[in-house]
């Protein structure tokens, strides 16, 4: 059967996450419905990750085997004609029949957007977590450096399968301070963007990272305390606030060169 690798972008605000669920609107459900309208009933469909309800994706990778052979550009255009406005196929390519979007990925990159605002946020409220600022960005960077490496991240998330390991490898963790507009302008937007690349993520891991780093930025936690959670991991560290899903953006997924389209 011909197999394809799709790259999806979606606004997760009105979706109950990626994975299809009964009586819930999901991205997988929307994609399956679009494929059904094209006369396809995919026997196998895999995704790079299960995004949470309300989280967004800029490069969700999906592998699908179809009955009919399609030109990739034609397939993307046909799917987009049937997909709702909040999800789009930005790229399509042929791939090996054995391609598995989750198991074949070698790294994932997530971003989390934090707005430093004293008043209520309206325009960006669906795509960022608004907190009272300013934040101690240097302290957040020190805490982020402690996350890099191979650790047991049980304090920051749960295994994706019952009894699964909570050890993951974080390749990079960055904290960027961004100001859109002149700082003196009341309309200026001050944001802190957290970017983490890892071989894989636990459930809730990136949102817990964001919660911990914001706690450091607000002086409620120290970088040393974050590092200690990696030395003595707990099965759910109650002191960590899990950041809301709306600020989470699945940013990129990397595959071996042999799996490239």
pLDDT in tens, 46-104: 999 999 999 999 999 999 999 999 999 999 999 999 999 999 999 999 999 899 999 99
- Express as a percent the part of the chain with pLDDT over 90: 78
Catalytic residue among 52, 86, 104, 152: 52
3-state secondary structure of 108: strand
In the predicted structure, residue 118 carries a pLDDT above the cut 80? no
For the CA atoms of 84, 21, 66, 95, what is the dihedral angle to 10 degrees? 90
Give the list of residues 6+ apart from residue 93 with CB closer than 8 angstroms, or none: 4, 5, 72, 261
The per-residue pLDDT for range 215-251, each reduced to its tens digit, is 999 999 999 999 999 998 875 556 688 999 999 999 9
pLDDT of residue 260: 46
pLDDT, mean of residues 112-128: 84
Q: Do residues 76 and 83 touch, judged by C-beta distance below 8 A?
A: no
Residues of the chain with CATH 3.30.70.580: 3-103
| Domain 3-103 class in CATH | alpha beta
Mean pLDDT score, 168-194: 84
- Return all residues near 236 (Cβ < 8 A) that are at least 6 apart: 154, 155, 158
52 labelled catalytic: yes
Q: How confident is the model at residue 1 (pLDDT cuts 50, 70, 90)?
A: confident
CB 225 within 8 Å of CB 144: no
Confidence of residue 198 (pLDDT cuts 50, 70, 90): very high
Q: What is the dihedral of CA 51, 56, 59, 63, to 10 degrees?
A: 40
pLDDT (average), residues 30-56: 92
| CATH number for region 107-253 | 3.30.70.660
pLDDT band at 183 (very low <50, low <70, confident <90, very high): low
C-alpha to C-alpha distance for 140 and 215, rounded to whole angstroms: 9
> What sign results for the dihedral spanned by CA atoms 139, 140, 141, 147?
positive
Q: Where in the chain is the domain with CATH 3.30.70.660?
A: 107-253
């Amino acid at each position: 059967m011909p197999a394809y690798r799709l790259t999806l972008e979606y606004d997760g605000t009105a979706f109950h996450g990626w994975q299809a669920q009964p009586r819930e609107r999901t991205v997988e459900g929307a994609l399956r419905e679009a494929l059904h309208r094209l006369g396809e009933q995919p026997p196998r469909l895999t995704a790079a990750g299960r995004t949470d309800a309300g989280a967004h994706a800029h490069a969700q990778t999906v592998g699908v085997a179809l009955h009919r052979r399609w030109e990739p550009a034609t397939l993307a255009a046909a799917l987009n004609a049937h997909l709702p406005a909040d999800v789009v196929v930005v790229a399509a390519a042929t791939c090996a029949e054995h391609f598995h979007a989750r198991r074949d990925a070698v790294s994932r990159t997530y971003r989390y957007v934090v707005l430093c605002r004293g008043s209520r946020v309206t325009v960006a409220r669906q795509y960022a977590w608004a907190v009272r600022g300013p934040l101690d960005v240097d302290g957040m960077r020190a805490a982020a450096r402690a996350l890099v490496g191979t650790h047991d991240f049980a304090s920051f998330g749960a295994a994706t399968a019952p009894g699964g390991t909570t050890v993951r490898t974080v390749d990079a963790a960055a904290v960027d301070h961004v100001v859109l507009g002149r700082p003196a302008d009341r309309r200026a937007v001050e944001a802190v963007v957290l970017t983490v690349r890892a071989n894989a993520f636990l459930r809730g891991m990136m949102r817990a990272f964001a919660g911990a780093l914001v706690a450091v930025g607000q002086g409620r936690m120290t970088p040393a305390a974050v590092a200690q959670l990696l030395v003595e991991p707990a099965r759910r560290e109650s002191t960590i606030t899990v950041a809301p899903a709306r600020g989470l953006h699945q940013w990129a997924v990397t595959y071996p060169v042999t799996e490239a389209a």
